[in-house]
Amino acid sequence: MDLAQAALLGIVQGITEWLPISSSGHLVLLQEMMGVRAPLSFDLVLHLGTLVAVCAYFRKELVGIARPVLALETKSEGFKTAVLIAIGTVPAFLAGFLLSDLFEGLFQSLFAVGIGFLITASFLALTRIGKGKREVDGSRALLIGAFQAAAIAPGVSRSGMTISSALISGVEKGSAFRFSFLLSIPVILGASVFELLGSPIESFGFEYMVGFSVSALVGFASIGVVKRTVLSDRFYLFSVYCAVLGVALLIYALA
């Protein structure tokens, strides 16, 4: 993998991590097209780049959560949000721990990636019925977290599944957008740290720095795009792209 390929993978990660079109599916597809196989550690560095992007974008919200948690202000909104994020994080950690071998196997199959895109497309299309005004509560946090866990599979978009499940369950648009992104932080951070600890330090070259920087910058811009589409009731439009790509991958895999 050269620097140009690393930068291209960073651009794709930055765009697709937050847009509801599955970064994992696109990274698998792009590597297949370029004839390269980036190590898992590089994929995780790209995810850390987009993690930096979401932390920067929601820096005020994160401060508003951290302060009451550290001060043990249990009745504050920030503390309640932290509890909801903790509840929503549980399914993904359980799935990652118990089903890691299954998910790793799916990354080797373009057919599985195609199915994942079609699943994403279906949920995105259903967001047209989501016109609720509710806030996220404990049961909805757990539901959204369960859909986040499903997005470990390639082709299944994390932002697509979490925002869609929130909207379909009646959560208000702004709250759905905000909670989805805040919920991504502990899962991406936990998974990245766990995997990076097992990677030798000497394996990290300059291409890692390029991929990280590009994914962070592009990812920050992508979050704003998602916000505009959610708030303007156009989030479902991404379903067309996912459906076309999913069908194309199935045809290719079966040919």
Digit-by-digit pLDDT tens for the chain (255 residues) are: 788 999 999 999 999 989 999 887 788 778 878 888 777 778 888 889 999 999 999 999 999 999 999 999 999 999 999 999 999 999 998 987 787 777 777 777 889 889 999 999 999 999 988 778 999 999 999 999 999 999 888 889 999 999 999 999 999 999 999 999 999 999 988 877 777 676 655 566 788 999 999 999 999 999 999 999 999 999 999 999 999 999 999 999 897
Question: Rounded to whole angstroms, how far apart are CA atoms 197 and 192?
Answer: 8
Question: Residue for token digits 């599985």?
Answer: 112
Q: Are 233 and 35 in contact (CB under 8 A)?
A: no
Answer yes or no: pTM beyond 0.75.
Answer: yes
The alpha carbon of residue 170 and the mean position of all alpha carbons in its chain are separated, in whole angstroms, by 21
pLDDT of residue 235: 95
**Structural domain containing residue 88:** 3-254
Cα separations in angstroms, 245 against 10, 29, 250: 20, 10, 9
pLDDT of residue 52: 95
> Inter-axis angle of helices 59-70 and 77-98, to 10 degrees?
100
Per DSSP, which regions of 129-214 are E strands?
Answer: none
The domain tally of the chain equals: 1
pLDDT of residue 124: 96
pLDDT of residue 24: 75
Q: Which of 236, 99, 70 is nearest to 164 (CA)?
A: 236
Question: Rounded to whole angstroms, how far apart are CA atoms 26 and 195?
Answer: 20
pLDDT of residue 201: 52
